[in-house]
Amino acid sequence: MPYTCPESPTRRLSSAIATPGPKPISRTRSVGCTSSNETTQLLRKLAELDDQIAKAQTARGAIDHALRCPHEDILECPTFASVIAARLTGQPLHETHPH
């Protein structure tokens, strides 16, 4: 009798993420049961999370710079000025902030 997955890995992963606390491996991972469509969805979600993390890290760096900036007035900071100028031209923050 061929093995069939009792539950969708995507549904299992969603359940594992939504439920707090440690998860047994059997609830969060199954080998060989992810369909091509599910794999594509999970890879897309992973890319979205990577993008959100990168944006959050950039924003954190900008805030950290503002807190540590040696200029008494942030408007006098050349880094701040260059970031604002670049943002006004439409550049994303992660491309404008050097940290």
Per residue of the chain (99 residues), what is the pLDDT tens digit? 555 555 555 566 666 666 666 555 444 444 456 688 899 999 999 999 999 998 898 888 888 888 999 998 888 999 888 888 888 888 877 777 655
pLDDT at 43: 94
CA dihedral 53, 58, 61, 65 (to 10 degrees): -160
Q: Residues 93, 55: contact at Cβ < 8 Å?
A: yes
28-33's contacts with Cβ under 8 Å and 24+ in sequence apart are 30/5, 32/3, 33/5, 33/9
Is 13 buried (19+), middle (13-18) or exposed (0-12) by CB count in 10 A?
buried
> Which residues touch 61 (CB under 8 Å, ≥6 apart)?
97, 99
Would you state the pLDDT for residue 65?
86
- Whole-model pTM? 0.54
